[in-house]
Amino acid sequence: MTSSLSSLWRFGVSDFSTSEPLLNGELIKASGLDFIEPGLAKAAAMPEGEFLKAAGRLSDAGVPVLSANWFLPPTLKVVGPEVDEVKSREFLKLALGRAAHLGAKAVVFGSPGSRSIPVGWAELEAREQMIRFCRLAAEVIQEGEWDLRIAVEHVNHTETNFLNTFAEALAITREIDRPEIGLAADFYHFAMEGEATEVVREAADLICAVQLADPKGRAFPKSGQEIPGLIPFFEQLAGIGYRGGISVEAKVGASLADDCAAAARFFEKDLTHTP
């Protein structure tokens, strides 16, 4: 007997390549997906009036924002000699306030340009800086009284030299030990690192965002196309009781509308398992 896994979650599109969810939210929803995950650094860089207009447009169109990605601009360093806590706090107040205004409940913290360890910098010091930054973000969330969590993301070794595996991201998040700091689970990065997805069982209380792409070309999933390991990944998520959003963070092909429609059909028809 088979059953659909897709009924457990809502599916959306993350900011990546040319997806531009803040601009294309209506198109993404009309193509059959449920929500958008805009790039927060981009939203934070917008003039206030422009941002409020975009947020109002999405709200009026009934396009939910469950989460945000692209947390930090690469010029804002989290580790290394250029860290500036005053600048970090200023950015966090602006950006996290805008995430909350959009209705996001999680902010995915990948940001490889901000957290990669510079040559000659000690990894132990980088780890301590990452912990301090995340605790600072937690303080800002608490001060703002926002219903929001930072989702620390494991990012594969081709993009950064720090926290490449989910197990490493889990360990540092446990050390941070703040309720405002959780984890992102990204199928693409699991595949790129060859890491077994069973490790998500150890993080049931922390996972607050999930992303995916077809590892072959970092593409949108398409109905009828097998993606090795994806069904077991979803079964792990179902088993730990994850019920948040799942977003596609992938390269856009010839047509964003076509890619979204193909992904929607995949989630509707292909996500089945044997209970």
Q: 21-31: per-residue pLDDT in tens?
A: 999 999 999 99
> pLDDT tens for residues 134-155?
999 999 999 999 999 999 999 9
Report whether 210 contacts 237 (CB < 8 A). Answer: yes
Residue 104 pLDDT more than 80?
A: yes
Predicted local confidence at residue 275, as pLDDT: 60
Paired strand residues for 37: 14
Nearest to 64 by CA among 17, 12, 141: 12
| 203 DSSP assignment | G
Domain of residue 111: give its range.
3-273
Residue 5 binned pLDDT confidence (cut-offs 50, 70, 90): confident
**For the residues 67-86, what does the mean pLDDT come to?**
98
pLDDT at 1 > cutoff 50? no
* 184-to-11, 177, 214, 229 alpha-carbon distances in Å: 15, 16, 17, 18
What confidence score (pLDDT) does residue 3 get?
63
Structural contact between residues 99 and 147, judged by C-beta atoms closer than 8 angstroms: no
Q: Would the pLDDT of 4 be above 90?
A: no
Q: Provide the pLDDT for residue 169.
A: 98
Task: Spell out the SS3 assignment of 18-79.
Answer: CCCHHHHHHHHHHCCCCEEECEHHHHHHCCHHHHHHHHHHHHHCCCCECEEECCCCCCCCCC
Q: How far, in Å, CA of 176 to CA of 200, rounded?
A: 18
Inform me whether the pLDDT recorded for 131 exceeds 70.
yes
pLDDT over 60 at 2, yes or no? no
Nearest to 95 by CA among 116, 75, 69: 69
pLDDT at 36 over 80: yes
Extract the tokens encoding 34. Answer: 């449920």
- Measured distance CA(164)–CA(110) in Å, rounded: 10
In this structure, the strands spanning 245-248 and 207-212 are: parallel
Q: What is the mean pLDDT of the chain?
A: 96
Measured CA to CA in angstroms, residue 134 lies from 79, 117, 251 at distances of: 11, 16, 29
Please give the backbone phi and psi of residue 116, each rounded to the nearest 5 degrees, phi first.
Answer: -65, 145
pTM over 0.85: yes
Mean pLDDT value of segment 99-112? 98
Overall domain count for the chain:
1
- The Cα 193–Cα 117 span in angstroms is 19
* CA-based R_g, the chain, Å: 18
CATH number of the structural domain spanning residue 248: 3.20.20.150
Query: 225-244, pLDDT tens digit by residue?
Result: 999 999 999 999 999 999 99
> In this predicted model, what pLDDT tens digit does every residue of 182-206 receive, in sequence order?
999 999 999 999 999 999 999 999 9
* pLDDT exceeds 60 at position 268: yes
